């Protein structure tokens, strides 16, 4: 069992059968041991794919994405959920992303200065549920003309359709922990990544 799986079992809180709270090691307080483990797995899997940028979405994707980018020695870019006044004059790639946990749609923005057709992009996120966030980032990469090397996820909820949607779009997905079933006193994992 991986360290991330152990932390999910010992400290994760199933808020219901769909949502897992992991504020004590991933979404609020961040455990660097988890970050080291997930970034090492992402680098082992995607490291030979010629990645030039790591892309995520604020806020919870930033920690694992910067850890991976640091290992790969490439820049990390995060899609912003609000447009700062300093970006208004810049060309942008945008996509409307519906948040599973917040039940809210936000327009995510990446300046066109930081993604271009020469890039090969690894998308990283904390969770995969319905793939709204990942597919939004995939669309942003496509707008830039860059190539997608794959999607790396810390915690996939395999009982939700996100992975299938990404695979149907031809995208290579690697998840460190894959949850098969979520319940108050029961969390089970899927084999493989």
Angle of the 3-11 helix axis to the 32-46 helix axis, nearest 10: 140
Least separation in angstroms between residue 91's CB and ligand 5GP is: 25
Alpha helical stretches, state H, the chain: 3-11, 32-46, 62-72, 132-144, 162-168
Looking up tokens 């995520």 gives 56
Bridge partners, residue 190, by sequence: none
Do residues 126 and 149 touch, judged by C-beta distance below 8 A? Answer: no
The binding track of 153-182 with respect to ligand 5GP, each residue x by CB under 6 A or -, is: ---------x--------------------
Least separation in angstroms between residue 45's CB and ligand 5GP is: 19
Closer by beta carbon to ligand 5GP, 47 or else 99? 99
| Residue 131 among known ligand-binding residues | yes
The answer to the question of residue 67 lying near ligand 5GP (CB under 6 A) is no
d(CA 91, CA 27): 31
Residues 73-132 close enough to bind ligand 5GP by CB under 6 A? 99-101, 125-132
Q: What SS3 state is found at 41?
A: helix
Least separation in angstroms between residue 111's CB and ligand 5GP is: 20
Least separation in angstroms between residue 50's CB and ligand 5GP is: 25
d(CA 128, CA 153): 6
**Residues of each annotated binding site for xanthine:** 20, 27, 157
**Residues of each annotated binding site for 5-phospho-alpha-D-ribose 1-diphosphate:** 129-133
Residues that bind ligand 5GP (CB under 6 A): 19-22, 27, 60, 99-101, 125-134, 162
């Amino acid at each position: 069992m991986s360290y991330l799986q152990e932390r999910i079992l010992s400290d994760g809180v199933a808020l219901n059968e769909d949502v897992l709270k992991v504020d004590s090691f991933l979404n609020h307080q961040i455990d660097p041991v988890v970050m080291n483990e997930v970034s090492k797995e992402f680098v082992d899997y995607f490291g030979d794919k010629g990645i030039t940028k790591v892309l995520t979405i604020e806020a919870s994707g930033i920690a694992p994405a910067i850890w991976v980018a640091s290992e790969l020695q490439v820049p990390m870019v995060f899609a912003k959920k609000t447009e700062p006044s300093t970006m208004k004059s810049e060309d942008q790639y945008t996509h409307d992303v519906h948040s599973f946990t917040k039940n809210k749609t936000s327009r995510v923005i990446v300046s066109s200065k930081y993604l271009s057709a020469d890039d090969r992009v690894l998308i990283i996120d904390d969770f995969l549920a319905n793939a709204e966030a990942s597919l939004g980032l995939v669309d942003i990469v496509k707008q830039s003309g860059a190539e997608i090397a794959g999607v790396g996820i810390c915690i996939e909820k395999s009982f939700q359709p996100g992975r299938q949607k990404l695979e149907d779009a031809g995208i290579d997905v690697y998840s460190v922990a894959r949850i098969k079933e979520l319940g108050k006193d029961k969390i089970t994992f899927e084999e493989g990544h």
